[in-house]
Amino acid sequence: MLKVGLTGGIGSGKSEVSRRLAERGAVVIDADKIAREVVEPGTEGLARVVAAFGEAILREDGSLNRERLGSIVFADPDKLATLNGIVHPLVGERVARLQQSAPDGAVVVYDVPLLTENKLAPMYEVVIVVDASDEIRLERLTTVRGMAEADARARIAAQATREERLAIADIVIPNEGSLHDLDAKVAEVWERLAG
């Protein structure tokens, strides 16, 4: 089993790379998806988040209002640390279970947005960073995702800098062009990983 850490700043195209690696045969463990699952209604994770931030972060149906919570934590590093302290251990437990179920010889790609911030690079044999300039990421967040510019800037600022991510990279996938360009770059990376 080859353990690959995949990261990139918000709006870099990391999810596109993750999807393309899965299409080529990688076993992808998506930390964001797991982070959503561990705070679904009825979970211990959601109960702990509500205890820390109050019921105002819930929607009427009892589910987590991610936008409201995001506007609270991305503007305050201490609150973000509190949230991460609740969610990350729960994600870690789920990831360990998924890893144990991967077949021998698999290329297991851990899609981890905060790999750099949480100093997780040593956990992986290879670290891939999907890279795009802050300007391009901001444009993608505001136009493609419809995020308010202030929110997009706050989320970019809450993450590691581009330089910090690049410093831990074994492989960099530049993503400032078309999806066709990205697909060709991912194909090259897959040959290196699976070869």
pTM to 2 decimals? 0.77
Among 47, 77, 104, the domain-final residue is: 104
Mean model confidence pLDDT for the chain: 94
Count structural domains, the chain.
Answer: 2
Residue 109 has pLDDT above 90, yes or no: yes
Task: Please tell me whether residues 179 and 128 are part of one structural domain.
Answer: yes
CA distance 157 to 141: 13
- Tokens encoding 156: 């970019």
Per-residue model confidence (pLDDT) at position 113: 86
Task: Please tell me whether residues 3 and 72 are part of one structural domain.
Answer: no
Contact at 8 Å (CB) between 173 and 17?
yes
Task: Please tell me whether residues 117 and 97 are part of one structural domain.
Answer: no
152 backbone dihedrals φ, ψ, rounded to 5°: -65, -45
> Average pLDDT in the 118-130 region?
95
Per-residue model confidence (pLDDT) at position 31: 80
Residue 128 binned pLDDT confidence (cut-offs 50, 70, 90): very high
Task: Please tell me whether residues 137 and 181 are part of one structural domain.
Answer: yes
What is the domain range of residue 47? 33-104
pLDDT in tens, 3-50: 999 999 999 999 999 999 999 999 999 988 998 999 999 999 999 999
Residue 99 binned pLDDT confidence (cut-offs 50, 70, 90): confident
Which CATH number belongs to the domain containing residue 50 in this structure? 3.40.50.300
- Give the number of other CB atoms < 10 A from CB of residue 91: 22
Residue 74 binned pLDDT confidence (cut-offs 50, 70, 90): confident
Among 104, 122, 153, the domain-final residue is: 104
Task: Please tell me whether residues 59 and 100 are part of one structural domain.
Answer: yes
Which H or E run includes 128? Answer: strand 126-131
Per-residue model confidence (pLDDT) at position 21: 97
Task: Please tell me whether residues 114 and 147 are part of one structural domain.
Answer: yes
Task: Please tell me whether residues 175 and 162 are part of one structural domain.
Answer: yes
pLDDT in tens, 137-168: 999 999 999 999 999 999 999 899 999 999 99
- For 77-94, the three-class secondary structure string (H helix, E strand, C coil) is HHHHHHHHHHHHHHHHHH
Task: Please tell me whether residues 178 and 195 are part of one structural domain.
Answer: yes
Q: What percentage of the chain reaches a pLDDT higher than 90?
A: 86
